[in-house]
Structures are given as C-alpha cells and as structure tokens.
Amino acid sequence: MDIQTVIRATRGVLGDPEGVVPLHVPDYSDNPNAWEYVKQCIDTGWVSSAGAFVDRFEQMLAEYTGSPHAVVVVNGTAALHVALELAGVDDGDEVLMPALTFVATANAARYCRAVPHFVDVDEPTLGVDAARLADYLDETADRRDAGLVNKRTGRRIAALVPMHTFGQPCDLDALMAVCERFGLPMVEDAAESLGAWYKDRHTGTFGKLGILSFNGNKTITTGGGGAILTADPQLAKTAKHLTTTAKSGKAAWEYFHDVTGYNYRLPNLNAALGCAEMERLDAIIEAKRQIAERYIQAFEGIEGVTLYRELDFARSNYWLNILILDPEHADRRDELLDAMNEAKLLVRPIWNPMHTLPMYADCPRMDLSVTESLASRVINLPSSPHLR
C-alpha cells in the first residue's frame, strides 16, 4: 500500500487539489424550502413541541420508507431507547448487537437497564453474521418458558439489534430467520441507512421496530432528530405516548400522566428542516451513489486497499464510503490516517468496538475476531453529497 497513491486517488475523486475536506457535512445550499419552512415556524410561533411539520415529516418518512407508521423524536439514540423498551427489553435482560457499531446502540440497551451482548459481524455485509450467530445461540442459549435464556449468565436474551453499517444493509432475510428460530424480536438500528434498501424493502422496516437518525452528520439532518418505524399501530401509538411524557388527561388542560414517559419529542422547528430535507432525499442519494461509483473506479487496481461496494441484495445509500486495508497493512492504518489528515482530508477510522470501551468491557460476547480485524483496517472517506 502506497500512502501517496491513496491520497492522490481520493483527491482525484473530490476534484479539489488542496482544500480541507471534512468527512460529512450538511448542505442546505440547494434547498430554499428549508429556510421557508423554518421561517413559517418563527413567523407563526410554532417553534416547539407541537405544529404541523411534525405530522408532515412523519407522513413523509412513512411514505418514503414504506413503514406504515413513523414517530419522530429528538434523536436516534432516544428512538432506540424507546424502541427497545417497546420490544419488551427490561431490567436485567440481554440485548444482542454487533460489537462493531456506534456507541449509541449499546447505550440505549443500558438505558433500559439491560446488558449489551456483543456478536460478531461478517466482512461481506459489515453487519451481524447470521450463520455464526445461529451456531452461537445453539451453543449458548436455551429456549425456556421465560423466553430465550443465556445458559452462562441465566439472563433472558430479549432482542436482536442488527445495524446497517455506513448505510450498507445487513443480510436481513438470514437475520429474520435466526430471530424466528430463536423467538427473538428484531429492532433494526437503521440510523445510518435512510435511503438504503434490502431487496425491495427499505431498511428499518423488517424488524418489530426500526430507528432512523437525523443527526448533523447523517444522510439528511434536522439539526438533531430521529424516528421510530413500525408496522404495528398499537406500538406506534405507544411510541408517541411514551415520547411525549405519557400525558393522558381527559381534558387537554389536565396534567395527568399514566406512566413514566420521556420528553423525547422533536420540535416543530427541527421537523420543518426534516420536511425540506425529505423533498431532496432522492437527489442526495443519487449524489452519494455517484460519489461512491467514482471512488470505486478510482481505487480499482490500487494495491493493498479495497473500496467497499454494495452486495447484490442491497441498494446502499453510501452514507460514508469505506476503504478497507488488506490485513497485512492493518499496522499502517494510523500512519495512513495521519498522512491523510495532514493532507487536509479529514478521514476517520471506524469506531472502537464496543467490548473495548471501559463501560462495556465486561459484557457477554461471542468470538469477535472479524470485528477486531475490521476495526483495525477500516477508514471512512469524505462523502458529503455536495462533493458530487
């Protein structure tokens, strides 16, 4: 692997010989409606916890993803917290999730007083390895009246949370089959995969619940925001109730709350941005797919590195482009990161795997050798849609 060759190939795709290039930044320059909608909020005073843009954003998300229901909330982490609670995750349960994910996945399980249980990924999908998960559960877990129980810890295993890494869909058919076989509800962490499809269905709509994120660095952004997706009208209703402080007085003026709810609602101001972004989502995805195609071409034939490309069953959103170093170059990853950042290409490594973080070091886990290998040699390349 020649570091200068990698830098030249990246610069070639960006068509910018020397400027600073961030990893991913929001871009409202082609979006005059964003200003118009925000202005409407300010002009009418509907800036906060109620307003028409919230309903409209939810409808647009439901329509786009094909999910019968979408409930918007203050961020993706909050969405995941409530989705896990609605899937039945409770105090002392374990939640299966990839060790290769952003920390929010594990944090959300902890907010339910549950224990993350880390499983390995496979290299083709960068997501949970369904075949190895099934073998592992055969060995580790027992189906009892109480549900699936971890024989080693005695705790109930309450759910599986697959995550679509950088917008690349996992093998959902295979994961659904594992869930069915072991009686596990699936909650999809689709925070990174708005605009990504598995076969002909949008990611985040396969599980009992799924979640999206509209954080500042994601495919579309509302400043901060998230959504819960579900096909179940009762779960959607409860999601709305729980995320809006569980208010249920007979009269609108009454402060009666029937359970401990959360103040997780998305302000109308943010939803206004969401509506404007949804209008441009197809164009954003198109731009991102073009950038990915250019990276794939530019890196073809460069020794020692591979640019990840979507699998046959997937239509990716290419949220962040993924450069994978061959295993024999893993020890030069940091050298490459230093050189690229010095060259003003603000590239980043993939996350530290969850089991290497101090608060999750003692959590149960299977063999994580693929996670550990990928964590040592994956780099994200600049992927903002305006780079097209």
What does the binding site for ligand PLP look like in residue numbers (CB under 6 A)? 75-77, 80, 101-102, 104-105, 163, 189, 191-192, 213, 215, 226
At 173, which amino acid appears?
D
How near is the Cβ of 264 to ligand PLP at its closest, in Å?
11
Q: Is the Cβ of residue 185 or residue 226 nearer to ligand PLP in the bound state?
A: 226
How near is the Cβ of 166 to ligand PLP at its closest, in Å?
8
Q: Is the Cβ of residue 163 or residue 314 nearer to ligand PLP in the bound state?
A: 163
How near is the Cβ of 107 to ligand PLP at its closest, in Å?
9
- Residue 244 phi/psi, 5-degree rounding, is -125, 45
Q: Is the Cβ of residue 104 or residue 368 nearer to ligand PLP in the bound state?
A: 104
Q: Is the Cβ of residue 105 or residue 384 nearer to ligand PLP in the bound state?
A: 105
- Residue 339 C-alpha from the chain's centroid: 29
Q: Is the Cβ of residue 125 or residue 213 nearer to ligand PLP in the bound state?
A: 213
How far apart are the two ends of the chain, measured CA to CA in Å? 27
Q: Is the Cβ of residue 273 or residue 305 nearer to ligand PLP in the bound state?
A: 273
| Distances in whole angstroms, Cα of residue 111 to Cα of each of 115, 116, 187, 235 | 10, 11, 15, 19
Among all residues, whose Cβ is closest to ligand PLP? Answer: 76
Q: Is the Cβ of residue 102 or residue 136 nearer to ligand PLP in the bound state?
A: 102
How near is the Cβ of 178 to ligand PLP at its closest, in Å?
20
Q: Is the Cβ of residue 13 or residue 211 nearer to ligand PLP in the bound state?
A: 211
Strand partners, 263: 244
Q: From CA 196, how far away is CA 204, in angstroms rounded?
A: 9
Q: Is the Cβ of residue 58 or residue 189 nearer to ligand PLP in the bound state?
A: 189
How near is the Cβ of 187 to ligand PLP at its closest, in Å?
11
Q: Please list, in sequence order, all residues whose beta carbon lies within 8 angstroms of the beta carbon of residue 71, skipping any fewer than 6 positions away.
A: 58, 227, 228, 230, 236, 239, 240, 243
CB-based contact 299:306 (threshold 8 Å): yes
Structure tokens at 124: 């083709």
How near is the Cβ of 338 to ligand PLP at its closest, in Å?
25
How near is the Cβ of 219 to ligand PLP at its closest, in Å?
10
Q: Is the Cβ of residue 244 or residue 380 nearer to ligand PLP in the bound state?
A: 380
How near is the Cβ of 282 to ligand PLP at its closest, in Å?
22
How near is the Cβ of 224 to ligand PLP at its closest, in Å?
6
How near is the Cβ of 211 to ligand PLP at its closest, in Å?
7
Q: What is the CA radius of gyration of the chain?
A: 21
